[in-house]
Amino acid sequence: MTLKTPHFHPLVDQFSRTISYLRLSITDRCNLRCMYCMPKGEEDTAKHTKTGQILSHSELLSYEEMLRVVRIAVEMGMNKLRLTGGEPLVRRGILSFIHELFSIEGLDEVRLTTNGVLLPDYAERLYREGVRHLNISLDSLQPEKFFEITGRDDFNKVWQGLLKARDIGFRVKINVVAMKGINDDEFIDFAQLALREPFQVRFIEFMPLGEKSSWQKEQFIKADEIRAVISGTGHLTPFKSSYDEGPARVYALEDSHGHKGSVGFISPISHHFCDKCNRLRLTSEGRLRACLLNDKETDLKSLLRNGASDQRIRQSIRQTIIDKPKGHTLQSDFGETGRLTCRGQMSQIGG
């Protein structure tokens, strides 16, 4: 007898957006100390590096709790999952966790966002477990500047991890947080990397996220300005928009020698992309967010640890989707104050 795969009904919010994608932050810990991620003022003065407050182990969701939430979400119709952090590869037991995730019927993809430092050690095992898509955060191609941005001298590890991921066969996207006066002199270098290697390079507008953000208005650069710089590298042709690209506006890039690549631009401040948002975020402390830039959260951890039934958790997920805002107030907040009202820290929400 042939077993039929269950039919999952799509989850649609009140603005007709299909919610199919869960971003799961499995830890707030990280092996880098990036200037835009760790809160300003939390520093080890002796070592001249940011420290940042981290959650205790008991405050984090356990793997068993996360698996339960993912199973329920998949039963409801969500079929894609991205693991984020912090740095997800620093959490012990992640490979076994990924193995369990792939046993969930109806979950089509498990993707991973990483800073790449541990990729030389983990790439082959991640591929064996079934991961095929990697987003790698890399804000500079210069080792000295990489150290200034991240507080760690790990550029060579990241670069070796990128090359290993390429050779194994991963589909790789490189995420570059664009900061005027810091890495804007490297935009052409990143575009040329996209022409040389099978990596899609995506430029992300610098967001002033969190109460203690180190963001400064003078460092902000619009995606349209970045694209104008990149256009000097070659001809840009927009790809047809798709949910698979998320918030990125993606372009094919071709230079005068016929070399081809692709670049993307993520512009939360200068361009609104909320109309095609298809995701929820589960933070490392078990709070479900319908919007990265809206602090309203559903406390799933309390439900999980106080004997809630699957049906009760399902209802909470559904209500979060119903309450998902039409859009964030990023543009108006930014225009009026030059700051944001979102207090959540990226290291805990999940990058």
Q: What are the pLDDT digits (tens) for 70-84? A: 999 999 999 999 999
Which percentage of the chain shows pLDDT scores above 90? 67
Q: What range does the domain containing 164 cover?
A: 21-349
Contact 290, 280 (CB under 8 A): yes
Looking at per-residue pLDDT, the higher value among 340 and 317 belongs to: 317
- Between strands 133-137 and 260-266, the pairing is unpaired
Confidence of residue 245 (pLDDT cuts 50, 70, 90): low
| CA–CA separation, 263 and 255 (whole Å) | 13
The pTM of the full predicted model, rounded to 2 decimals, is: 0.88
Picking from 154, 80, 147, 145, the residue whose alpha carbon sits closest to that of residue 121 is 154
Q: Give the per-residue pLDDT at 202.
A: 97
CB atoms under 10 Å from CB of 305, counted, come to 12
Q: Give the per-residue pLDDT at 247.
A: 80
Residues 6+ apart with CB under 8 A from 303: 312, 313, 316
Looking at per-residue pLDDT, the higher value among 349 and 17 belongs to: 17
In a domain, 65, yes or no: yes
In a domain, 240, yes or no: yes
- Average pLDDT for residues 174-191, to the nearest whole number? 96
Q: Which of 41-45, 161-165, 285-289, 342-346 has the lowest mean pLDDT?
A: 41-45
Contact 26, 284 (CB under 8 A): yes
- The radius of gyration of the chain from alpha carbons, rounded to an integer in Å, stands at 20
φ, ψ (nearest 5 deg) of residue 157: -65, -45
Residue 137: enclosing H or E segment and its boundaries? Answer: strand 133-137
Confidence of residue 34 (pLDDT cuts 50, 70, 90): confident
Q: Give the per-residue pLDDT at 46.
A: 44
Looking at per-residue pLDDT, the higher value among 195 and 272 belongs to: 195
Residue 172: enclosing H or E segment and its boundaries? Answer: strand 171-178
- Average pLDDT for residues 322-341, to the nearest whole number? 61
Overall domain count for the chain: 1
Contact 222, 270 (CB under 8 A): yes
In tens, the pLDDT along 73-117 reads 999 999 999 999 999 999 999 999 999 999 999 999 999 999 999
φ, ψ (nearest 5 deg) of residue 305: -95, 0
In a domain, 302, yes or no: yes
Tokens of 282: 């589960």
Picking from 236, 270, 219, 281, the residue whose alpha carbon sits closest to that of residue 78 is 281
Q: Give the per-residue pLDDT at 159.
A: 98
In a domain, 169, yes or no: yes
In a domain, 14, yes or no: no
| CA–CA separation, 237 and 260 (whole Å) | 11
| CA–CA separation, 114 and 106 (whole Å) | 24
In a domain, 1, yes or no: no
Q: Give the per-residue pLDDT at 10.
A: 73
In a domain, 7, yes or no: no
Q: Which of 39-48, 272-281, 282-291 has the lowest mean pLDDT?
A: 39-48
Residue 133: enclosing H or E segment and its boundaries? Answer: strand 133-137
Q: Is the pLDDT of residue 329 over 70?
A: no
CATH number for 169: 3.20.20.70
In tens, the pLDDT along 216-240 reads 677 889 999 999 999 999 999 999 8
In DSSP terms, which residues pair with 252 in a beta bridge?
Answer: 237, 262
Q: Is the pLDDT of residue 56 over 70?
A: yes
- Average pLDDT for residues 136-152, to the nearest whole number? 96
- Between strands 249-254 and 49-50, the pairing is unpaired
Q: In Å, how far are 13, 147, 167 from 124, measured between CA atoms?
A: 38, 26, 10
| CA–CA separation, 117 and 21 (whole Å) | 26
Q: Give the per-residue pLDDT at 135.
A: 98
Tokens of 146: 């990489």
Confidence of residue 338 (pLDDT cuts 50, 70, 90): low
Q: Is the pLDDT of residue 48 over 60?
A: no
Q: Give the per-residue pLDDT at 125.
A: 98
Question: How confident is the prediction for the chain on average, in pLDDT?
Answer: 86
Q: Is the pLDDT of residue 164 over 90?
A: yes
Single-letter residue type at 306: N
In a domain, 133, yes or no: yes
Contact 70, 107 (CB under 8 A): yes
